[in-house]
Amino acid sequence: MKKVKLKVILILLSISLIFVNQTVYSTSNSNNDQFEQISSLLPEDIVFTYNSSFCSQEFSFETSIQLNSFNCFTLFFATSGDKTNGEGIKVTLSLEKVEVVCIIDRLFQDSLNHNLTQAFPYPEVVEGIMNVTITCEAQTSSSYYSGSLRIFSQTKAEKILPPTITENSSPLPVFPNWLEFKGSLSTVMRSVTTAFNNSNNFDKLNLSISFRASDFSAYVRQFEIQVGETVVYTKDFEENQLTEETFLFSINTGINLLSIRFIVEFCIDEIQLTDIRLTGNGINVESILPVNTYEWIA
């Protein structure tokens, strides 16, 4: 029976050990080697050509793969020829129960080697052979234009081992750990994702975030921390400087995923958010209240 895949943009999730099928989107460059267990993916390079007509092509194969509750897909690629229209090149990795979507923006269609990184959950542990499909879609902006995309065999899917949070602050994995994208007269959003294990049953996470923004002009510059479907914090940030903030919010027992979503409005510049770092520690409510609080309330 054909499995149904629910396609949702993964901005941020807070999850237990059980996941639903979903589609995950990525549009950012990253070099990230945090808590990773490498699982090979492509048997050889993939070459996809496109022109002024809408072009789509599927590449299916069997591959040895290792997945768990939190994973990372890294797409290594280079383009040649003409650039696409504003929609970019859409690359979809279809696993048995999850789809991961990467959009290669025109910014990265420059004949140089790049990589895109996207974290994604998976509903079960996998260690073995899986049928995998990569679908490429693109179209140039004008007639007689054409180009090609080469996806290198180094492209990989990796299982990530989320660190267990304790009372002491420690680094959390970030995927991707830097973002680069072109602004727009409308709203542009990009996100990074982290994961951690709350096996010690803390009530809250004390999260610290730091990143450096490039010099760009925009009407709105802010980031959101979203847990599940709830935005728990929204904060403005300044361009051309280092931002450092700390937040406290409730978390679930077990594995948690959350993302930081960056929002930029009315901007025509190129935007870089670099050296994105997250650290966190667990806190129980009793530990931050006075000893006699409950007696006083009673």
- pLDDT band per the 50, 70, 90 thresholds, residue 35: very low
The CATH number covering residue 123 comes to 2.60.120
pLDDT recorded at residue 229: 73
The model's pLDDT over 249-283, given as tens digits with 9 standing for 90+, comes to 999 999 999 999 999 999 989 999 999 999 999 99
Please state, for a pLDDT cut of 70, what percent of the chain lies above it.
82
Indicate if the pLDDT at residue 294 is higher than 90: no
Q: Tens of pLDDT along 176-187? A: 999 999 888 899
Distance, in Å, from the CA atom of 9 to the CA atom of 103, rounded to the nearest integer, reads 12
CB-based contact 280:205 (threshold 8 Å): yes
67: its two tokens:
């997945």
What's the first-to-final CA gap in the chain, in angstroms?
Answer: 58
Residue where one domain finishes, among candidates 142, 160, 178:
160
Q: Which domain holds residue 257?
A: 170-287
Q: Do residue 155 and residue 27 come from a single domain? A: yes
- Identify the pLDDT of residue 40: 61
Bridge partners for 46 per DSSP: 151
What pTM did the predictor assign?
A: 0.79
Taking alpha carbons only, the member of 131, 71, 121 closest to residue 98 is 121
Question: Whole-angstrom Cα distance, residue 235 to residue 205?
Answer: 18
Q: How sure is the predictor about 292, in pLDDT bands with cuts at 50, 70 and 90?
A: low
Do 179 and 224 fall into the same domain? Answer: yes
Band (227; pLDDT cuts 50, 70, 90):
confident
Asked if 55 and 105 sit in the same domain, the reply is yes
